[in-house]
Amino acid sequence: MTYDPPRPAGRLLLTPEDREAPARTLRLRRLGLGEQQEPALDAFAGRLAEVTGAPYAMVNFLDEERQFFAGLHTPRGGPPARGGKPEVGRRLPRDYGYCPHVVVRRKALVLEDVGDYPRFAGNPMVDEYGVRSYLGAPLIDTTGMVLGTVCVADLAPRPWGKAGLETIKATAADLVARIERREADGLPLL
């Protein structure tokens, strides 16, 4: 005799509540961020991918309803994703991925193998896109507002280590300084 445990009717989404989302949305609009692709942020994401050796790198801004990758780097010349999975685009629902957790936690998140963390293993990014590892840090400006994240991801487990954590945090701090210089002096991001 075998026993098959009951299966849940739907996916349990564990995306944290983001009470700062309305204020962040207004701040991002004032900064002119989070609504369109920015070539300078694409270049920034490309450099982040190069430094970390990750195939995917993003500069992600979150508002009340969605995530928007104003900076995006994906592998060139290869298949869109493993096993016919969809290509990563610029917009994602708020309950996809790990950046919403970084924003609410207000600190970096290192997932060397998302399968090792039940809270994160059931995320749609695993099933739909094949993401197996993630490294992200919040973009916290001098007002204390978390604007979004910088992050990298891979389709295979990856030992990011202390060096990876230090790199992602330094990259986030650098980008926040650039955003604030642009706001204060009208200088370009890069």
Task: Please provide the DSSP assignment of 10-62 as one string.
Answer: S----PPP-TTHHHHHHHHHHHT-SSS--HHHHHHHHHHHHHHT-SEEEEEEE
CATH of the domain spanning 21-184:
3.30.450.40
CA pair distance 115, 41, nearest whole angstrom: 30
**Spatial separation of the C-alpha atoms in residues 4 and 157, rounded to whole Å:** 30
In the chain, the amino acid numbered 85 is K
φ/ψ bin of 173: left (φ > 0), alpha (ψ from -120 to 50), beta (otherwise): alpha
Domain limits, the chain:
21-184
Name the pLDDT band for 8 (thresholds 50, 70, 90).
very low
pLDDT band at 78 (very low <50, low <70, confident <90, very high): very low
Residue 1 has pLDDT above 50, yes or no: no
What pLDDT is attached to residue 80? Answer: 47
Q: Hey, what are 47's tokens?
A: 């450099």
pTM of the model: 0.86
Residue 62 pLDDT level (bands cut at 50, 70, 90): very high
Strands 66-73, 56-62: parallel, antiparallel or unpaired by DSSP?
antiparallel
Span 104-160, pLDDT tens digits: 999 999 999 999 988 888 888 888 889 999 999 999 999 999 999 999 999 999 999
**86 — pLDDT class (breaks 50, 70, 90):** low
